[in-house]
Structure 1
Amino acid sequence: MKHLIFALILSLLISCQNTAQNSEAQNAVIHANPIEIPIKNGKARAYFASGCFWCVEAIYESIKGVDEVISGYSGGHTKNPTYETNNTGKTGHAESVEVIYDPEIVSFSTLVDVYFGSQNVTQVNGQGNDIGSQYRSIIFYQNDAQKEIILKKKAELSKKLNAKIAAEVYPFQKFWKAENYHQNYERLHPNNPYVRNVSIPRLNRFKAKFPELLKEKH
């Protein structure tokens, strides 16, 4: 009986998420013209979604040329998403990060390599045990040059692995900053059970793969 109830709940949850992802409003987001964020004070911005933003924030903050990483929400059709509403899977948004970087030190292309190299690229709608459309992988482009870089790398990786790459490719529209308590979460809460068992191991796996990209001290 318990298994039946669990299956029913899971089915309803997936149904809600699929409705959000397939709505007319969400399709408008997916097919919109990208919005380009201008370079300011020598710093550019890039946007990625790859599971829990606590994990992704920590990974990008370890990269040379990255000044700051902000956790938030992007890719959906609703305004002013919150952590609570986003967790319903009905907003269309995914937990995302804004990466503020110096393009003279690290290129957008390298940031895309970091993206694909720091996740399970074949997992759909989640990373590890973080499951749901709010944890899906999305990589955002702001212009045709970025889109070309993303699609080329995605195709090459698919061919190399002989597998379908789960990451969706979206035109960037807007980034909604998450609540203050989510910012720098891995650094400020190193003893949190999730951080210890998920965020830090994921960060360490990434560091072992890309030692040449890391800041001297992180």
Structure 2
Amino acid sequence: MKQVITLLALALFFSCQNSAQTKKQKAKVLDAKPIEVPLENGLAKAYFASGCFWCVEAVYESVKGVKESISGYSGGHTKRPTYEASNTGRTGHAEAVEIIYDPKVVSFETLVDVYFASQNPTQVNGQGPDKGSQYRSIIFYQNDEQKAIILKKKEALAKQLDAEIAAEVYPFQKFWIAEDYHQNFERLHPDHPYIRRISIPRLNRFKAKFPKELLKTAH
């Protein structure tokens, strides 16, 4: 009996240590100074996490002014995360997308509108059937102007829905590109069961509610 109690005490001790360590690591990420990504050939970059990156990639590529949407990982405390590692929830990373866009055609503000219009904004740690911290909602800001835009829209949506909005707001630090087989997954695998059952319906729900003049005729 003593041995069992000792083992339980040790398990609790290390569990508390791990929890404290995770909180410290997250605090360090949240307190970091945001990194601003410079324009390249007139194109800007923005970063969002909103459930499965296959879904989010397809949503953003349906928007005018978006040149490319790349799947990857961001928001965590480890280097070079992999799909398998991030799926454990221990790296702190969420599945995210890097949006390469023309700021003369589409603004960061509109990209934030796309973000909130393409998800269930009140679902915590996931979207639809995908649940876990690796699927949590995060909007990344690169400067004070972007942060102000995000917080203003988040507050307005909370009032509109009379509910707490799940999206976290992080200073952008680093985007890790996901494995090649994740890129353009919806476009390359339209008959995949997940794409047919989850991604395409999510994309269609977004397109049905978003202003048509801001959408491409095809993506």
Measure, in 2, the Cα distance between the counterparts of 1:20 and 1:98.
Answer: 30
Structure 1 residues 194, 150: closer, same or farther in 2, change over 3 A? same
Measure, in 1, the Cα distance between the counterparts of 2:150 and 2:198.
Answer: 26
Task: Tell me what 2:97 maps to.
Answer: 97
8 Å Cα contact 1:30-1:171 kept in structure 2: yes
**1:213 correspondence with 2:214:** yes
Measure, in 2, the Cα distance between the counterparts of 1:123 and 1:78.
Answer: 25
SS of corresponding position for 2:84 = helix
Cα drift, residue 21 of structure 1: 8.7
8 Å Cα contact 1:86-1:93 kept in structure 2: yes
Moved over 2 A (4+): 18-23
Measure, in 1, the Cα distance between the counterparts of 2:188 and 2:19.
Answer: 36
Amino acid at match of 1:83: Y
Structure 1 residues 158, 182: closer, same or farther in 2, change over 3 A? same
Task: Tell me what 2:146 maps to.
Answer: 146
- Number of residue pairs matched by the alignment: 203
> Which sections of structure 1, spanning at least 5 residues, go unmatched?
1-14
SS of corresponding position for 2:77 = coil
Per-residue CA deviation, residues 10-43 of structure 1 (Å, 9 max, x unaligned), is xxxxx89x93994312210111010000011000
Task: Tell me what 1:11 maps to.
Answer: none
Task: Tell me what 1:12 maps to.
Answer: none
Per-residue CA deviation, residues 69-107 of structure 1 (Å, 9 max, x unaligned), is 000000000000000000000000000000000000000
Please say which structure displays the higher CA radius of gyration: 2
Measure, in 2, the Cα distance between the counterparts of 1:21 and 1:187.
Answer: 40
Give the RMSD, CA atoms, in angstroms. 1.5
Measure, in 2, the Cα distance between the counterparts of 1:216 and 1:95.
Answer: 27
Please give the residue correspondences for 1:96-135 in structure 2 after superposition, counting only pairs within 5 Å.
96-135=96-135
Structure 1 residues 20, 216: closer, same or farther in 2, change over 3 A? farther
Task: Tell me what 1:165 maps to.
Answer: 165
> Which sections of structure 2, spanning at least 5 residues, go unmatched?
1-14
Please give the residue correspondences for 1:55-94 in structure 2 after superposition, counting only pairs within 5 Å.
55-94=55-94
SS of corresponding position for 1:163 = coil
Task: Tell me what 2:35 maps to.
Answer: 35
> What is the TM-score of this pair, normalised by structure 1?
0.90
Measure, in 2, the Cα distance between the counterparts of 1:45 and 1:107.
Answer: 11
Per-residue CA deviation, residues 37-73 of structure 1 (Å, 9 max, x unaligned), is 0011000000000000000000000000000000000
Measure, in 1, the Cα distance between the counterparts of 2:20 and 2:126.
Answer: 16
Task: Tell me what 2:6 maps to.
Answer: none
Measure, in 2, the Cα distance between the counterparts of 1:175 and 1:214.
Answer: 26
8 Å Cα contact 1:70-1:183 kept in structure 2: yes
Measure, in 1, the Cα distance between the counterparts of 2:213 and 2:120.
Answer: 21
